[in-house]
């Protein structure tokens, strides 16, 4: 039986496993590796903070995900298949490692976040300001 997501260590397992898949993925990997040129040493702890906030209302996340995605969309248009693949990989990774209320919350929030970002990009694809992907 799998355990539920219980804290930051579990979030690190989830996020590290997920982004290992993302980096190798033929559909979205290039967005992270070649377009955004993500600095993984910096990005992964930011994602731990983000998901700790989403799942446990704690963590030190202070970023602006919409600004980052608008910049990325300007550099290389994000399409439905990119969001679908991101969701597929995330949901798959949660299911491989965890089950329980927090795991279900992670799945629900991932789907909501991806949908919200996609809708907002359709409304305002570039948006004001600039940002860094790292």
List average pLDDT for each run of 10 residues in the chain, which is 134 residues long.
96 98 98 97 96 92 91 94 98 98 98 95 63 41
Domain membership flag for residue 64 = yes
- In contact, 21 and 33? CB cutoff 8 Å: no
Task: Determine which helix (DSSP H) or strand (DSSP E) holds 2, and give its type and residue range.
Answer: none
Residues contacting 36, CB < 8 A, separation 6+ = 72, 75, 133, 134
Q: Which pLDDT value is given to residue 132?
A: 40
Domain membership flag for residue 134 = no
Q: Which pLDDT value is given to residue 125?
A: 57
Domain membership flag for residue 29 = yes
Domain membership flag for residue 36 = yes
Q: Which pLDDT value is given to residue 126?
A: 55
Dig out the tokens for 78 from the structure.
């994000």
Give me the domain span that covers residue 27.
Answer: 8-123
List the CATH number of the domain containing 51. Answer: 1.10.490.10
Distances in whole angstroms, Cα of residue 55 to Cα of each of 5, 16, 30, 106: 9, 16, 28, 7
Q: How many domains would you assign to the chain?
A: 1
Domain membership flag for residue 130 = no
């Amino acid at each position: 039986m799998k355990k539920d997501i219980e804290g930051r260590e579990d979030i690190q397992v989830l996020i590290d496993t997920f982004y290992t898949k993302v980096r190798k993925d033929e559909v979205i990997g290039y967005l992270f590796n070649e377009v955004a040129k993500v600095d993984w040493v910096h990005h992964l702890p930011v994602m731990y903070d983000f998901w700790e906030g989403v799942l446990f209302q704690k963590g030190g996340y202070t970023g602006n995900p919409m600004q980052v995605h608008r910049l990325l969309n300007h550099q290389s248009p994000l399409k439905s298949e990119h969001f679908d693949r991101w969701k597929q990989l995330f949901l798959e990774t949660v299911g491989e490692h965890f089950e329980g209320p927090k795991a279900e919350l992670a799945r629900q929030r991932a789907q909501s976040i991806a949908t919200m970002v996609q809708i907002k990009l359709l409304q305002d694809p570039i948006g004001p300001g600039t940002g860094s992907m790292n």
